Structure 1
Amino acid sequence: MALMITDECINCDVCEPECPNDAISQGEEIYVIAADLCTECIGHHEVSQCVEVCPVDCIILNPDIVETEAQLHEKYLALGNV
């Protein structure tokens, strides 16, 4: 699954620079994650870096976008990561 940021986001700015796929950006009110770029850090790190650094635990799995680890790895490769 891609990740998403809930409205508990406090705009602390720590998640955006941690994303290896540049999937996180400032939205109208809070940060947002582009699902087409989010691989949950598969291929880059053992754990999702944005989740690791979020001080309010507002980054969760997006229930509307179900992806297996294999699909996330395919996305990682399709994004030009080798």
Structure 2
Amino acid sequence: MIDAPRPRAVQRYFWLPVADESGDDYALRRHAFPGSRLDTATSATAYCGETFALAQPSEMDWIRARTCQPCNSALKRMKGWPQ
């Protein structure tokens, strides 16, 4: 008899470009937030541990914003991926 694969737990998160003052310059960065974008309030804590005000980004915000590497690394650890 063959064992059926176990279903993986689904971790819901979303990426969003937000104003981020943590770098050398005031810029937009894409941060990952737990849950669903539809379920969030006006601010949320990202996987990097910082809290940000959430607003509706423009298409250019998505294009120009760099990815937050600490958020990216945290999600990789949660999924068991190598750094």
TM surpasses 0.5: no
More strand by share: 2
Between the two structures, name the one with larger relative contact order (CA 8 Å, sep ≥ 6). 1
Larger radius of gyration: 2
